């Protein structure tokens, strides 16, 4: 979402015709935003770092293993929340983690 926000700001600064969309960021959406810069050499030079980062993000989001990594990050957040919030309720934590482990195996 942060990459999209910066990309929209850059396109607006360069007066490029960008259509805003809300919701989940998709690789196709980011790629279409990058395409706006291809015919404007000055805008391309001014924002080449952001465009490179955006294309790396597009490739990452489009990779086949992305959903697995997304699940791992969600599991990590769950662990950090459980460790920080309720250290006394170990039994409940173990059962939640076991359920999450089962969910990860199905992915």
Tokens of residue 12, six digits: 């607006």
Span 58-80, pLDDT tens digits = 888 877 776 677 677 788 888 87
Distance between alpha carbon 48 and the CA centroid of its chain, in Å?
20
Is the pLDDT at 96 greater than 80, yes or no? no
Cα dihedral 9→15→17→23 (10° resolution): 10
Same domain, 37 and 8: yes
pTM: 0.58
pLDDT in tens, 23-37: 788 888 888 889 988
Kindly state whether residues 15 and 44 are assigned to the same domain: yes
Domain co-membership, 57 together with 74: no
How sure is the predictor about 6, in pLDDT bands with cuts at 50, 70 and 90?
Answer: confident
Same domain, 70 and 57: no
- Burial-class residue 1 by CB neighbours within 10 Å (0-12, 13-18, 19+): exposed
pLDDT at position 106, please?
53
Q: Nearest 5°: phi and psi at 37?
A: -85, -15
Question: What is the C-alpha to C-alpha distance for residues 19 and 3, in angstroms, rounded to an integer?
Answer: 15
The answer to whether residues 72 and 98 belong to one domain is yes
Domain range holding 34?
A: 2-62
């Amino acid at each position: 979402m942060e990459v999209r926000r910066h990309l929209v700001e850059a396109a607006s600064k360069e007066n490029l015709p960008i259509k805003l969309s809300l919701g989940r960021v998709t690789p196709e959406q980011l790629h279409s935003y990058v395409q706006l810069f291809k015919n404007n050499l000055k805008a391309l030079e001014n924002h080449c770092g952001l465009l490179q980062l955006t294309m790396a993000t597009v490739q990452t989001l489009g990779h086949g293993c992305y959903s697995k990594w997304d699940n791992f990050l969600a599991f990590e957040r769950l662990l950090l929340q459980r460790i920080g919030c309720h250290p006394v309720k170990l039994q409940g934590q173990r059962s939640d983690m076991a359920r999450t482990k089962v969910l990860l195996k199905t992915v």
